[in-house]
Amino acid sequence: MEDISQKLAMPKLGFGTFRMPGDGARTVVESALEVGYRHLDTAAMYDNEAAVGSAIAASGVSRREIFLTTKVWHDQLSSRDSIRAAFDESLAKLKVDYVDLYMVHWPSADMDLRLVMETLVELQETGTTKAIGVCNFNLPMIQHAVDELHAPVAALQVEYHPFLSQTALLSFVRKRGIQFVAYAPLAQGRAASDEVLAEIGRKHGVGAAQIAIAWLISQDGVAAIPKAGRRESQEANLEALKVVLDQEDLDAIRALPKDQRYVRPPFAPDWDATTL
């Protein structure tokens, strides 16, 4: 698969593992690796790092060929020791010597962002994570981290799909060479049944979900991490890499509602969609 940056060699199409807890994730991830995925996204909160690690070990795929991301949960951001302990636990569960990207999963209202970023930088300096990043930061948060704290943020992961605009964040990260990772790229399944996307899909011989993914990964500096439990869905999502959208397609997608946010956990900051 094509890399989106020399700085951060992240394949544009990755494999998400949210809501795949426990050992059940192992066979799913093994299948994803077999069909060709080389970008795996997990997190401590997903409760499947051990399964993901086992799948990597059993796959026969060289660790060097896999771009592996995991994340620290918001309740572990209170101190350097808690962040380091969380990181060490993730490495142990994954059964790897390093991850390619270690991210703050959600910001905490009472976190000391300078301390958090300094601790992640210290981990990066050891080589046990090749890069660091943040998830679910709004524009003021990432501006503070990058422009004021000068943190070497390599990637930003947020909800992004054809029904949600992320124009302000995209503009910011592109200017600073930060990779943008779209989670919930199928709008938690809604994209697959959207008639506008389905009509475009019929023109290209693919489904609506593949059009949503193709739209995301056609954008400069954007990667997407859809999840798929069934092998046929995993293979179908890979077909998005072959889809070339024309201007008519792009205009139709641009006309879709762009204010639909579906990920709003109760502990998350209450920000308006226009700030992201």
Q: Please, what are the domains in the chain?
A: 15-188+220-230 (3.20.20.100)
Non-local CB neighbours of 128 within 8 Å, separated by 6+ positions = 87, 91, 97, 98, 99
Give the three-state DSSP class for 155: strand
Q: Does residue 46 have an active-site annotation? A: yes
From 37, 46, 160, 183, the catalytic residue: 46
Query: Across-strand partners of 133?
Result: 103, 155
Residues 6+ away with beta carbon under 8 Å from 70: 42, 43, 44, 49, 90, 94, 99, 101, 102, 103
In a 10 Å sphere around its CB, with 0-12 CB exposed, 13-18 middle and 19+ buried, how is residue 2 labelled?
exposed
CA distance 134 to 191: 25
What is the residue-level pLDDT of the chain in tens, covering all 276 positions?
343 333 688 999 999 999 999 888 999 999 999 999 999 999 999 999 999 999 999 999 999 999 999 999 999 999 999 999 999 999 999 999 999 999 999 999 889 999 999 999 999 999 999 999 999 999 999 999 999 999 999 999 999 999 999 999 999 999 999 999 999 999 999 999 999 999 999 999 999 999 999 999 999 999 999 999 999 999 999 999 999 999 999 999 999 999 999 998 887 766 544 343
**How would you label 246-273 residue by residue, b for 16+ Cβ within 10 Å and e otherwise?**
eeebeebbeebeeeebeeeeeeeeebee
Please state the pTM of the whole predicted model: 0.94
Max intra-chain CA distance, the chain: 54
Angle at Cα 142 formed by Cα 67 and Cα 89, nearest 5°?
Answer: 45
DSSP per-residue letters across 112-137: -HHHHHHHHHHHHHHTSBS-EEEES-
Q: How far apart are CA 230 and CA 45, in angstroms?
A: 22
